[in-house]
Amino acid sequence: MLPFLTVLLRVIGIVCASFLAGMMIYQLVLSLFGFGRKVKDYQDHDPQSRFLVLVPAHNEEKVIGDIVRNLQAMDYPRELYDCYIIADNCTDATAETARKLGAQVIETRKEGPDSPTGKPIALRKALLSLGDYQNRYDLMMIFDADNLMDTNMFREVNSQYLDKGKPDFIQCYLGAKNKKGVVAWFYYTGYTLTNRFFDLAKHRLGLNCAIGGTGFAMSTQYLYERGGWTTMSLTEDFEIQVEATLEGRRILWNHVTRVYDEKPTTMRASIRQKIRWGQGHWFVALRNTGKLFRAFASGTIGLGEFLSLLTYMYSISVYVVTALQLVTGLALALLTPGTPIVSFSLESLLWGGTLFGYSYLLLFYVADWLDNRIPFSLKTIPVMFAGFAANMVVGVFNQVVGLIHCRDQQHWVKTEHAIGAAQTVHGSKAVKLPPKAA
C-alpha cells in the first residue's frame, strides 16, 4: 500500500507541475504580443451610435454624485445617450442625491424578504422597465457607482464599433482610482499588467478579451436576442463573456479610453471580494467546460479561442494546484524520510527568479511606463514583493473557499465605496468634472 501511495503522490506532483508549467508558458508567449506603443487600430468616426448607460447602485450616496457629474460632462452629443442610475434596494439617499443632480433614476426593490439581490437582478429589472431598448439604442454600457471614466469614452467606443463592423462587445481599459497601501497597490499592479499583456495582447491576436464588469459596451440587439440580462452568477461579467464566446461572438478591447474603479484598501475587504469572485468564477467555469469542448468540436470557435478561454476559465486553479503540489510534497516527505518538501537548486532558483522578474516585475514596469508614463522607482520594489507574497497566501484561501461554496450564487457581498473624485489617482488622462453645486 505504501509504495502505491508514494507513486500516486509522485504522479499527482508531476501533473501539478506540468499544469503550472503549461499555464506559465502560455502566459509568457501571450505577453510577447503586449509590447509596442501603438494601441489604437481603428479610424475616428463622427458620433452616430446611441448609448444606453446603466449604473447599478446600492447605498452609494457617498460616491454617486461624482459619476452623475462625470456622465453629464461626456464629450458626446447629449441627444445620443441616456443615463439611468439604478437605485437597488437603497436605504440611504442614493436616489435623492442622483435626482437632485438631474439624473434619471430607476428604483428597484426586493420581491420578498428572502429574494436574491445584487447587480444582475438590478440590471434585469431596469431593462424590463425600459421596454424596447433594442430599438432606441445601439449599445448599452454598464458602470459601477464608484466609477469615473474618461470623457472621450463614448466617442472612442462609437468609432471602434463602427470601424470594426459593429462587434457585440467592447471592453475599455480598466484603470484605478487609488493605489495607496499594499492591498490597493496589488490591485493596481495586477490591472496595469493584465490590461496590456493579457487583454491588449489577445486583442492583437484576434482573440476575445475578458469582460471586466464595468466600462464595457454591449450590443443592445444581442442583449435583446438573448432575452435581456439573464446572467445570474456572482461574476456576471465572466458569465456573459463565456456565453458570448461560446456563441462565436466578438469581444474587442479598447486601450485608448479608461474607466477608473475604486480598489479595496483593507485585506478583509479584498478577501470578501475575491471569495465572491472565486465563487462565481468556479461556478461559471465548471458549468461551461463541456460546452466549451462542444463549441470547439462543432467549429463554432477555433483552436486559439478554445485555448484562450480554457486557460482563462481555469486560471484561478493555479492557486489550488500550487497548494495541492505543496501538500503532495509534504506527504512524500513524511512517507519517504529524506525527501525534501520542495527541491531547491541554484538552477531552479535562477529560473524561478527570472520568470518572476519577467512575468511580474518587468511586465508591470513596462506597462506602467507605456500606459501611465510612470517611470521605474526602487521605492516600489518592497511593496511589490509584499503585495505578491500576500496575494499568494490569501489567493489560495480565497480560491479554495470559492470552490467549496461555488454552488451558492445568491448571496451578494457589497464592497463599500467612499473615494471621491478629488482623491482619485488617474493614469494617462485625467477625468475633468464640472465643479460641484453649492
Per-residue pLDDT tens digits for 127-159: 999 989 999 999 999 999 999 999 999 999 999
Q: Of the spans 9-18, 34-43, 312-321, which averages the highest pLDDT?
A: 34-43
Give the CA count within 13 Å in the CB-facing half-sphere of 347. Answer: 1
The three cell numbers of residue 35 are 509590447
| 387 neighbors 190 (Cβ within 8 angstroms) | no
Q: What is the mean pLDDT of residues 155-169?
A: 98
Q: How confident is the model at residue 437 (pLDDT cuts 50, 70, 90)?
A: very low
pLDDT number for residue 344: 53
pLDDT given at position 430 = 45
pLDDT given for residue 313 in this prediction: 96
What radius of gyration do the chain's Cα atoms show? 23
Give me 331's grid cell: 506527504
Distance (Å, whole) CA 243 – CA 239? 6
| Residue 138: count of CB within 10 angstroms of its CB | 19
Judge residue 414's burial from the number of C-beta atoms within 10 Å of its C-beta, 0-12 exposed, 13-18 middle, 19 or more buried: middle
Residue 162 CB partners (closer than 8 Å, separation 6+): 45, 48, 49
Where do we find the cell 511593496? 383
Band (88; pLDDT cuts 50, 70, 90): very high
Q: Kindly report which listed range (135-144, 212-221, 281-290, 329-338) carries the lowest average pLDDT score.
A: 329-338
Domains of the chain: 9-410 (3.90.550.10)
Q: Per-residue b/e over 206-243, b at no fewer than 16 CB within 10 Å?
A: ebbbbbbbbbbbbbbebbeebebbebbbbbbbbbbbbb
Contacts 24+ apart (CB under 8 A), 22-25: 23/311, 23/315, 23/318, 24/355, 24/359
pLDDT at position 342: 58
Extended strands (E) in 37-192:
51-57, 81-88, 104-108, 139-142, 148-149, 169-176
Region 234-239: mean pLDDT is 93
* pLDDT over threshold 80, residue 47: yes
Those residues with Cβ within 8 angstroms of residue 290's Cβ, 6 or more apart along the chain or in another chain: none
CA distances from 199 to 260, 284, 315 (A): 17, 20, 14
Residue 419 has pLDDT above 80, yes or no: no
Structure confidence at residue 339 (pLDDT): 63
Q: pTM of the predicted model, to two decimals?
A: 0.90
Beta bridge partners of 353: none
Q: How far apart are CA 226 and CA 400, in angstroms?
A: 32
pLDDT band at 332 (very low <50, low <70, confident <90, very high): confident
Look at residue 110 in the predicted model and tell me its pLDDT: 81
Mean per-residue pLDDT over the chain, rounded = 89
List residues bridging with 88 in a β-sheet: 108
Closest residue by Cα to residue 405 from 234, 211, 230, 212: 234
Which position has the higher pLDDT, 52 or 183?
52
Per-residue confidence at 348, pLDDT binned at 50, 70, 90?
Answer: low
- Quick one: average pLDDT of 175-186? 91
